[in-house]
Amino acid sequence: MEREELEAMIELIKSLLEQKDFRQIKALLNNLKPQDTALLLQELSDKEMPPVFRLLNKELGAETFVEMDVDNQEMLINVFSDAELKAVFDEMFLDDTVDIIEEMPANVVKRIIKQTDAETRQMINQVLQYPKDSAGSIMTVEYVSLRKHWTVKECFDRIRKIAVDKETIYNCYVTDEKRVLLGIVTVKQLLLNSYTTTVEEIMETEVLSVETTDDKEYVSQQIAKYDLSAIPVVDAEKRIVGIVTVDDILDVLEEETTEDIAKMAAITPSTTPYLQQSIWSIFLSRIPWLLILLLSATFTSVVINNYEATLTALLFACVPMIMGTGGNAASQASVTVTRSLAIEEIEIADIWKVMWKEIRVSICVATVLAIACFGKLMLVDNLILGNDYTLQISFAVSLALFGTIVLAKLVGCLMPLLAKICKLDPAVVASPFITTIIDVLSLIIYCNIVIGLLN
């Protein structure tokens, strides 16, 4: 549903609420997708929302609940009767239940756990024990398992019996009595073979899997790289304990990207949506990097104070341009390399290829910019703005710009690779840190070239 439709629908619901026409509201809501119902409910006041939520049928109610934000979920749980709580959580898939439990305060968790049966409780505890961001913590334990001696007919009987409770049934995992993963068979393959074929004859035995402790970023890379719809999660003894499905990793990929982008802008990443973050948490995510960068600016002032005697106002006036262009040139290189590392287009072994490429590009870029700078000083600054940059000064400034850009590109491409070699996150060094380094380096180059050529 588009934003405009959604807003019109909210208006309609609100006016129906005033008329107490719950029947009509019910009819409207139960035709929507859970993602849209969730957005809609969140626009209602705290008083209006729970009664409207109760109008949803059981399945849509649970699906909508999963899509809501943490605050609204907590609010609803607090107004739910025990029976309502049980109804919602019974309908949910286990991975969603665990996600919600992880976000709730202890007393709410207690109430939720109390409403689940012993078997579910055990499965929840199993998933909760895995470290945050591991494959184990994002997997679902509801998958279809088959035995290798079963026939296609037996498989279908089995699938028919248990499909309702499984998030995905299209990938079926073949295991032995000890739950060790032997192979995989898809519903498509089952459909394409006769009822009497056994699983063993058609299963694929080269199965990609991840371990419970693998990072969720690795899991999503595997799924994306091999175009999988789900990947099995196994323990150290190769026993299958769950699966991660492609829809779960879409969220992981989005989160990881947001994190990388935040780091490139010198922000400590957060998984909370921007509008829901408190002023205090935004403040905390931004201030450390700004402080570090502020203090590192001491180096630039040291350089300027050092060369103070020899730099005229005309020469000072070019400093922001030199530093700014150097910074921009460096971020182009560093951001490109960081992104290429993130999507595995390049790796550490490519360091020489990358350097050689950036050196050639930087010479081209620096040549054009140095000529443009020379022209700008002689034409714009002298003729239009009435300054008097001599030929000699303009040449010195342009030469310093050339040197700054070549160096900036080189530092820019090397820093993310060096970070990776030191097992640091390339995104953290990608932009503001490099700019600060380039600020100092470009000042030193500038002062030395200008002084060398002019004095």
| 87 vs 224, beta carbon nearer a copy of itself | 224
DSSP tag of 172: E
Shortest distance, CB of residue 122 to a copy of itself, whole angstroms? 26
For residue 455, count other CB atoms closer than 10 A to its CB: 6
| Residue 448 interacts with a copy of itself (CB under 8 A): yes or no | no
Q: Which residue has the tokens 């002062």?
A: 447
DSSP-derived secondary structure letter, 348:
G
Given a contact cutoff of 8 angstroms between Cβ atoms, the answer to whether 65 and 76 are in contact is yes
Is the CB of residue 420 less than 8 Å from the CB of residue 341?
A: yes
Residues 46-105 that bind a copy of itself (CB under 8 A): none
Q: Does 231 contact a copy of itself by CB under 8 A?
A: no
Does position 286 bind a copy of itself by CB under 8 A? yes
Q: From the CB of 429, what's the least distance to a copy of itself, in Å? A: 14
266 forms part of the interface with a copy of itself (CB under 8 A): yes
Name which position in 9, 88, 233, 318 contacts a copy of itself (CB under 8 A). 318
Shortest gap between Cβ of 316 and a copy of itself (angstroms)?
6
Q: Does 435 bind a copy of itself (CB under 8 A)?
A: yes
Residue 187 as a binder of a copy of itself (CB under 8 A): the answer is yes
234 binds a copy of itself (CB under 8 A): no
Q: Which of 368, 364, 386 is nearest to 377 (CA)?
A: 386
From 44, 52, 210, 443, residue interacting with a copy of itself (rule: CB under 8 A): 443
Applying the rule CB under 8 A, the residues between 132 and 161 that interact with a copy of itself are: 156, 159-160
Q: Do residues 316 and 333 lie in contact, with contact meaning Cβ atoms separated by under 8 Å?
A: no
Cα(436)–Cα(438) distance, rounded to whole angstroms?
Answer: 5
Least separation in angstroms between CB 386 and a copy of itself: 9
CA 320 to CA 132: how far, in whole Å? 45
Q: How far is the CB of 310 from a copy of itself (least distance, A)?
A: 11
Q: Is residue 289 near a copy of itself by the rule CB under 8 A?
A: yes
Is 201 a binding residue for a copy of itself by CB under 8 A? The answer is no
Please tell me whether residue 170 binds a copy of itself under the rule CB under 8 A: yes
Whichever of 109 and 253 has its CB closer to a copy of itself, that residue is 253
Scanning 16-24, 126-134, 236-244, 343-351 for contacts with a copy of itself by CB under 8 A, the matching segment is: 343-351
Question: Is 38:68 a contact under the CB 8 Å cutoff?
Answer: yes
Count of Cβ atoms closer than 10 Å to residue 434 Cβ: 24
Chain positions 357 to 416 lying near a copy of itself, rule: CB under 8 A, are: 357, 360-361, 364-365, 368-369, 372-373, 376, 380-381, 385, 387
Torsion angle of C-alpha atoms 111, 116, 119, 121, degrees rounded to 10: -20
Whether 233 contacts 135, CB under 8 Å: yes
Is 16 a binding residue for a copy of itself by CB under 8 A? The answer is no
Span of 76-84, 95-103, 233-241, 266-274 interacting with a copy of itself by CB under 8 A = 266-274
Q: Provide the 3-class DSSP secondary structure of residue 346.
A: coil
CA distance 420 to 338: 9
Torsion over CA: 142, 147, 153, 158 (sign):
negative
Kindly tell me the burial class for residue 314, based on how many C-beta atoms sit within 10 Å of its own C-beta (0-12, 13-18, 19 or more): middle
Q: Which of 55, 75, 321, 453 binds a copy of itself (CB under 8 A)?
A: 321
Q: Any contact of residue 293 with a copy of itself (CB under 8 A)?
A: yes
